Each structure stands twice: as structure tokens, then as C-alpha cells.
Structure 1
Amino acid sequence: MTAQSEQSRRIRVGVLFGGRSAEHEISLISARNIIEGFDSQRYEVIPIGIDREGRWRLARDARRMLVDAGKSLPVFSDRTPEDLGLIPGEAEQLAFAHNASGDSPPALDVVFPVLHGPFGEDGSMQGLLKILNLPFVGPGVAGSAVGMDKDLMKRLLRDAGIPIGRFRSVHAHRRAEIIYADVTAELGSPVYVKPANMGSSVGISRVSTADEYAAALDMAFAYDNKIIIEESIIGREIECAVLGNLGKMRASV
């Protein structure tokens, strides 16, 4: 079997990373780790970076995204930045926005989104990939949206009979109604204030005084128009990975 035919059998995976959210840098770190973990005999990795302005760019060789043997964050090559456009309904879903070379982007078998925060984990990207008819790794639109929104997630967990910490959620236009004394009377002290739709500890504050509370609200509302305020619980944080599809799933714990 020739090397070319062997390569044609590999699954072509588009790894999406970066994005417009405040978790841009975290996404780069995650993408680096995931790209390095692929078996090159089975998969052809196509890194696709999204910059802070939302422009999609293609890096044709994953090794060009890594500097110093993977010790630095992935970076775009200064030599061949390629802006990508999306074409729903076409066999070739990606196209170069400014095609000076005449080349076409590689066709993808599956997309691996490694985007953190809004526009990546909240169902937005998942919906776009479904419109493009591209298979992708991870939960679908509803699962992503609920998993990202801590308010919705907690309500669903509570309704399913799963114990959760006490919390309050509030939108920005009702900020004046969440008085510190009322919050601590209900939830105790200290409390944690955080954006409802953000991860990686972005915008989170531990609050023990009224002055800290005002500053925490300012910070949380800077990232989201809905926040949650949670009681403090001293305990262990346990992560659980789930692999598979509906009906054939297995968990790490």
C-alpha cells in the first residue's frame, strides 16, 4: 500500500480553537494538548483558528501552530494566513475568503470544537456546524447551551432531584434588587458571584463584605448580562468525562 493511499484512509479532523470569548487563551492551551494527542497514523489534523474578531483562519500543518516543541501557545504563521468562509449546503463547506492561490481548503470528515466560553461552548458553534451538516465532537445545541448557562443547568439538576448549592440568578436590569444583606441572609457568607455563561473562573469573585459585593457585581456583569450568586460550600471538586452517544455512553467515574 502506498503512502498516499494510506494517508487517504486517515480521518480528517478540523480542530477549532481561539474564538471571541474572554477564554481565548485557554482555548489555545486546550487545542495544543488535543492536537498533540492525536494518533497521526489514524487522523489528519487540520487546525482552524478563530481570532478575537471572529475571523476563521486555516493552518495547514499542525506543527506550524506549535512553538518550542509544544511549550508555547499555538500561533498563526505570519507567512500564509488564510481567511475562511462558510458555505452552508455545499459539499465543500469551507472556502477561502480571499483565494489568491486557487487552492481549496481540505474537506473535513469531522470537527473537534475546542472553543471555550460564549460563541463556542454555548450551542452557537454547534448550531452552525449542524447547519453546515458537519459531524462534530461533543454535545449538541441543547446540551451545550444548558451546560454553559449555570442558571439553567442548576434548575434542571434541581428538578431532576440532584442536590445543588443554593443560588440566586439575576439579570443586569434587575441589579438594584439584589441587596447584599438580603443575599447573605438567604445564602450565608461568604458567597461567590460569577457570570452565568463563562468558564475557566473568568469573572468570579469570593465576597465577604458589601464593598466586595459591589465590585464583584461590576466584574461579573462585565462578562454577562446574567449572573449567579452561590453559597459557599467547602468540599471536593470532581470532574467526570462522558464518552459515547445517546444510549451508548460511559463515564469516567
Structure 2
Amino acid sequence: MQPAKKAGRQPGLKIGVLYGGRSGEHDVSLCSAASVVAALDQSKYEIVAIGIDRDGRWYVQDRPEMVADRNFGKILSLKRRGLWLVNHFEDQNKLHLYNLKSKGEKVVVDVVFPVLHGTYGEDGTLQGLLELAMVPYVGVDVAGSAVGMDKDIAKRLLKEAGIPVVPWITLGRQDWQKQPKKILQRAQKELGLPVFVKPLCTGSSVGIKKVKVKEDLA
């Protein structure tokens, strides 16, 4: 008898790992995407790396490629190749991507794994796009993403639900431009020092500053 042949990889879901993006957390996303690709079982899934550059253009990569990075150790490479058109109408519940500079080059994705950080990725905008396109995706839905990204809304909802939150003040750009002195006085009175100043809708500790003296609040 001949020994049984080992079965090759069976056709499985094609997962589009979406990373990069327009936010200030672009580089963090490249690092996270490398971790996701490394963790996915490539004997079960076919992985398609789809990078979005800082201008919002989508690029399907030839293959997921890890490269060394002095800040993050390893990141997922993002190469600007081709001119890609994103389409979902051809086949319901699948994402189609066409390279307009390479006739006949098409990639079809069964499910999207978003690994974008910050605005245009974690704030519900991408989730809304995929919902409209009826493309399955991994992670939190539109409402959960939007609420979780906005620190002021998240704190208000947590407080309303009886969950303890630290005191905070939310300031708009126009408020600061109109009456900065009054705002500084309010912050010192209601919060004291030290305080943490942070952007309303970013993550990854981007833009956060610990202020110990009142002069640094300005």
C-alpha cells in the first residue's frame, strides 16, 4: 500500500487585513497589523494585506511582508503599487479590489479585519462604510466604535450608567480662542494640578501631556 498523501491547505476564508490610514496613528497601525498577520492561522485562512496610505489611497500588497522598524521592532510593509478601485456591487457580501494599472488583476476578500487606529478607522467611519457595502468585518459596530473613540461621549455615558469616572473638562477650539484665561481658571478650580491634557478623539497615547504647573496649561 502507498502511504497516504498529506492534504494541502483547503480553500478557506480570504481575510483582508486593512491597516495604515490617514490618522496620526498610521505607524502604530503598521505595527498592530504585523501582530495580527503573525497571529492568524495561515493554514486556515488566506491573508490579503490591504494598506491605506496617509492620503487615504488603498493598495493591495503582493503578500504580507514584515519589515524591521527601529521604533516598533516589526511592522507590516505598505508599498504603493498600482491604482486600486474598491467595489462591492459585483458580489454581495464580498469586497472586490481592481488594479486599474494592471489589466485583469483583481482581489476578492470574504471578510475585512480592520487594524486601523484613530480617526477614519476606529471612530465608526470605516465600520459604516463596510456596513453600507454589506461586507463582513471583525470588531465593534458603528455605534460602539464612535462612542468608544470620543472621550467626552464615552465618559458621559459611563457616568450616566453609574460607573465612576475621574473629573474632566472638554474644550473646543473656538472656546479656547475666545476666552483662554477663563478656561484656565476653570480648569485649575475644578481639576487642580497635575492634570492630563489629551485630544478628544485619538488613541495610542498620541498628543497626551501631563501638566504639573499652571504655566504649562497655556
Query: TM-score scaled to structure 2, two decimals?
Result: 0.87
Shift of 1:77: 4.5
Q: Does 1:179 align with 2:183?
A: yes
Judge conservation of contact 2:82–2:102 (CA < 8 Å) in 1. Answer: no
- Report the equivalent of 2:171: 170
Aligned-partner Cα distance in 1 for 2:171–2:149: 16
Q: Does 1:53 align with 2:69?
A: no
Change (3 A) 1:71 1:101: farther
Which string of whole-angstrom CA distances, capped at 9 and with x for unpartnered residues, describes residues 52-78 of structure 1?
Answer: 11100001311xx2136x943222347
Judge conservation of contact 1:117–1:148 (CA < 8 Å) in 2. Answer: yes
- Report the equivalent of 2:10: 7
Judge conservation of contact 1:14–1:45 (CA < 8 Å) in 2. Answer: yes
Shift of 1:133: 0.9
Question: For structure 1, which segment, 37-46 or 18-27, has the greater mean C-alpha deviation from structure 2 after superposition?
Answer: 37-46
Q: Secondary structure at the match of 1:45?
A: strand
Q: Secondary structure at the match of 1:137?
A: coil
Q: CA RMSD in A?
A: 2.1
Shift of 1:113: 0.2
- Report the equivalent of 1:233: none
Q: Which has the higher contact order (CA 8 A, sep 6+)?
A: 2
- Report the equivalent of 1:207: 211
Q: Does 1:95 align with 2:85?
A: no
Aligned-partner Cα distance in 2 for 1:156–1:37: 34
Task: Give 2:55's aligned amino acid.
Answer: E
Give structure 1 stretches of 5+ with no counterpart.
Answer: 215-253
Judge conservation of contact 2:111–2:136 (CA < 8 Å) in 1. Answer: yes
Structure 1 residues 24-35: aligned runs within 5 Å: 24-35=26-37
Which string of whole-angstrom CA distances, capped at 9 and with x for unpartnered residues, describes residues 133-153 of structure 1?
Answer: 111111111000000000000
Judge conservation of contact 1:13–1:111 (CA < 8 Å) in 2. Answer: yes
Aligned length: 206
- Report the equivalent of 1:84: 84
Q: Give every structure 1 segment of 4 or more consecutive aligned residues whose post-TM-superposition deviation is greater than 6 Å.
A: none
Task: Give 1:206's aligned amino acid.
Answer: K
Aligned-partner Cα distance in 2 for 1:126–1:119: 9
Shift of 1:193: 0.9
- Report the equivalent of 2:125: 124
Judge conservation of contact 2:23–2:54 (CA < 8 Å) in 1. Answer: yes
Aligned-partner Cα distance in 2 for 1:87–1:39: 27
Judge conservation of contact 1:82–1:96 (CA < 8 Å) in 2. Answer: no
State percent identity of aligned pairs: 41
Q: Secondary structure at the match of 1:47?
A: strand
Judge conservation of contact 2:22–2:56 (CA < 8 Å) in 1. Answer: yes
Task: Give 2:48's aligned amino acid.
Answer: I
Task: Give 2:10's aligned amino acid.
Answer: Q
Query: TM-score scaled to structure 1, two decimals?
Result: 0.76
Aligned-partner Cα distance in 2 for 1:52–1:38: 25
Change (3 A) 1:173 1:71: closer
Aligned-partner Cα distance in 1 for 2:79–2:162: 50
Task: Give 1:47's aligned amino acid.
Answer: A
